[in-house]
Amino acid sequence: MARPSAITDSEPDSPVASDLQGAVSAWRAWLESERRASPHTLAAYARDLDGFLGFLGGHLGGAVSLAALSGLGAADFRAWLARRAMAGLQASSIARALSVVRGFFRFLEHRDILHNPAIHSLRTPKLPHHLPKALEPQEAMALVAATGDAYGLGPPWVEKRDLALFTLIYGCGLRIGEALGLDRHHMPHSDQMTIDGKGGKQRVVPVLGVVKKALEDYLVTCPFAHGPDDPLFVGVRGKRLRAAVAQKRLRELRPLLGLPETAPPHALRHSFATHLLAGGGDLRAIQELLGHASLSTTQRYTDVDSEHLRGVYRATHPRAKG
């Protein structure tokens, strides 16, 4: 039977002082109302924070209070991470839990409840390195959807910006540099847009309704008013968003969603091509959409899994139907 969550109304196995219970309740209310966290997100946060507080109950030998959290050192946090590693949890699960706990401490700091710099001195566990590969369709959709969900990684307009950016990359197959190089006048007002690609080559790509909606929602909430020649995607200072910032945002989301290290922004473009090909898209048409000068580049890029290819063969080859 699963332990009750410290984030719910149930009493956890490890005692939590009333002041900390109040802070956790306030955090949950903030996630639900301000950040509009989905039930799935709240459940994931609950499991990770409950595990952390449960560990502290045994580690500190008593009720866990706000004062106890304030007095934690880097060694205490490392002991918690080590315990999770010894339990056989994957690096991605450990990294996700650390992201959740960091977010809780940020919430407490922003409200002047407590401040503990030790939590920010920890490095996120290094995840195994693999060559970039396409996400599964459901992973790509989950990533795009969760970008706009409440993960407490920035102001609401920033989350809408990230949702618009990643939806655009996945929905239109853009390079990260192409997306960030767009200006306000590039905002699509029809079902297509013109992209300036590598080598000064232009191409026209179709724009799905969900992409336009994400872009419109972002622009409505963006606090910076700019002219048609100003950047479409901006950072918190109103300047053009840098690729490094977008990549960092995706790194922060990856562990929360349990996605592999092989999910940089470029993987969304890769997924765009792979999913089109897997759905029966014409390779030449995909080449045009991606802006590849050579068809051989597209063939390497669209790495359809062998099982899908075998399925296509069995379904279409005359000799396979006997």
Which residue among 78, 106, 133, 266 is the active-site one? 266
How far apart (Å, rounded) are the C-alpha atoms in residues 21 and 66? 9
Which residue among 161, 175, 270, 275 is the active-site one? 175
Helix (H) or strand (E) holding 118: none
Which residue among 47, 249, 275, 292 is the active-site one? 292
Q: Is 275 a catalytic residue?
A: no
Q: Is 292 a catalytic residue?
A: yes
Which residue among 254, 269, 270, 275 is the active-site one? 269
Q: Which one-letter amino acid corresponds to residue 88?
A: G
How far apart (Å, rounded) are the C-alpha atoms in residues 200 and 187? 19
CA 98 to chain centre: 15
**Complete DSSP assignment for 207-251:** --HHHHHHHHHHHHH-S----TTSBSSB-TTSSBPPHHHHHHHHH
Which residue among 198, 284, 300, 314 is the active-site one? 198
For residue 194, count other CB atoms closer than 10 A to its CB.
11
How far apart (Å, rounded) are the C-alpha atoms in residues 224 and 299? 41
CA 271 to chain centre: 15
Q: Is 3 a catalytic residue?
A: no
Q: Is 130 a catalytic residue?
A: no
Which residues are designated catalytic? 175, 198, 266, 269, 292, 301
